[in-house]
Amino acid sequence: MGATALGMLALVVAFSFPHTIIVMADGLQQITWLRRKKQIHWGDIVEINTGERSRAVTITGADGTRVVHTHQLPDRPRLLMELKVHCGENLPPDFPR
């Protein structure tokens, strides 16, 4: 019973580590420890949701892939700047709200 609880705790800790988001020339890539890599090309971005209360930025691709920048990750202003540079013509003029 104790070993099972310890194993479950180890899985919760491993999945709770913040993910790494890499800004590349052709899009965004989110790297996680135990899951697959997620990649969204700049042209495939269909929605950018900047959470006001949670301070999370959710970027959704045309195929439903989601890259989430949470409050645990550093440098939110740089991510928003990169989104404005690469997707500026499709964003509202007051981005980010």
- Per-residue pLDDT tens over the stretch 56-86: 889 999 999 999 888 888 888 898 889 888 8
Write down the pLDDT at residue 97: 64
Task: Tell me how far apart the alpha carbons of residues 63 and 44 are, in angstroms, rounded to a whole number.
Answer: 8
pTM recorded for the entire structure = 0.76
Please report which confidence band the pLDDT of residue 32 belongs to, taking 50, 70 and 90 as the band edges.
Answer: confident
> Mean pLDDT, to the nearest integer, of 13-36?
83
Query: Which residues, 6 or more positions from 32, have their beta carbon under 8 angstroms from its beta carbon?
Result: 19, 20, 38
Q: What is the pLDDT of residue 50?
A: 83
What would the two tokens of residue 62 be?
């045309």
